[in-house]
Chains A and B, each alone.
Chain A
Amino acid sequence: EDKVVQSPLSLVVHEGDTVTLNCSYEVTNFRSLLWYKQEKKAPTFLFMLTSSGIEKKSGRLSSILDKKELFSILNITATQTGDSAVYLCAVGSNYQLIWGAGTKLIIKP
């Protein structure tokens, strides 16, 4: 059965810290891996990764995929209180996305 596992489930850090969120997967017919940020309501898209070893970067956020070891990481540097959210990882397989349970990140001022 396809599965996507995120760790940790929850993380509390202080503003300014750097965090690394993990996403591992076992999915047949891997097509893509996507990261989303979910605050109060709808998930918003962050990155889509399809190739191993190529870092995607947007401001203080970056992500990389390892298709051999079947995982991805999402890094956030110099965290701010506005980064507090649930970060969701989803793996694309055939016609659908398979979602992890998310990592709840809390940034304390």
Chain B
Amino acid sequence: DSGVTQTPKHLITATGQRVTLRCSPRSGDLSVYWYQQSLDQGLQFLIQYYNGEERAKGNILERFSAQQFPDLHSELNLSSLELGDSALYFCASSVTLAGYNEQFFGPGTRLTVL
């Protein structure tokens, strides 16, 4: 158990809908990262927040947005969902701002878009 929690574990929804994924980082970690992992694909970095501020952006679609709250938990919002958005979404956290250090991963949220 990494200490990073994510909810929900599974989410099934229809195309065109909007969902929110939630992540709580390890105690003391200020950085939160969001990743997408499609079937048989590698991890795709989406976005990083550090202490409430956006710090780095990867291949995140405009339909997706995220934020980090004062209590450091983070939410990833996915809207106008398409079939291709079906994937595992991971949240990871680390102590430092620098994203090149060890990151601790949550158990993931499996999103299925029908």
Binding site for B on A (CB under 8 A): 31-32, 34, 36, 41-45, 48, 88, 90-102
Q: Given A43-B43, A99-B42, A92 and B99 touching (CB < 8 A)?
A: yes
CB within 8 A of A42: which of B44, B55, B56, B107? B107
Contact-residue size bin, chain B (C-beta under 8 Å from the other chain): 20 to 34
What is the CA–CA distance of A75 and B56 in the complex, to the nearest angstrom? 32
Binding site for A on B (CB under 8 A): 2, 33, 41-45, 48, 55-56, 58, 88, 90, 97-108
Tell me if A45 and B90 are in contact (CB < 8 A). no
Tell me if A99 and B45 are in contact (CB < 8 A). yes
CB within 8 A of B100: which of A43, A44, A93, A99? A93
Q: How far does the Cβ of A56 sit from chain B's closest Cβ, in whole Å?
A: 12
Tell me if B2 and A42 are in contact (CB < 8 A). yes
Q: How far does the Cβ of A69 sit from chain B's closest Cβ, in whole Å?
A: 20
A-chain residues with CB within 8 Å of residue B43 when the two chains form the complex: 43, 88, 90, 99
